[in-house]
Amino acid sequence: MADGGAEKTLLRLALNQQLPEELAGRLREEYFELPSCKTLFSLIKNEVRDGKPIDFREIATHVRGDAELNLLSELTLADDSGTLAAANLDLNLRELERRYIFRRRKEIQGEIVDAEKNGDSARVDQLISEKETLNRILNTLK
């Protein structure tokens, strides 16, 4: 599993409304591997995409676990003096996208095996198509 550096960076900037609009539109919940990052992003994703201010008190009322509360504190108290350049942000996001695609391709392979065992050729075709789409996206991320 990743150390979460890219995830935390992107999430911190999203929380502080410092994520460029183009990148905010590309960021997706499933890109996050760290459960606490995924949970926090799920709580703010609509505001991030709509460019609306983040209400930290509202987020805190929905957070259940200590890991999420600690992460929220860590990210909101982080020093912003080192805000990364847009190019670095894009690289961070591409890294999350790549990792997601590798995880999803592995899942698809298992689903293909199951669908073949069950004789579900329509599902196999659908999964192969999804895998090919992911491969094309992966080639654009290099």
Q: How many Cα atoms occupy the beta-carbon half-sphere of 29 within 13 Å? A: 11
Res 85 pLDDT > 70: no
Assign 88 a pLDDT band (cuts: 50, 70, 90). Answer: confident
What token pair was written down for 5?
């550096």
Domain boundaries, the chain: 5-140
Mean pLDDT, residues 91-111 taken together? 93
pTM of the full structure: 0.76
pLDDT for the residue 136: 93
**CATH number of this structure's domain 5-140, picked from the four choices 3.40.640.10, 3.20.20.80, 1.10.860.10, 1.25.40.10:** 1.10.860.10
Cα of 20 vs its chain's centroid, Å = 15
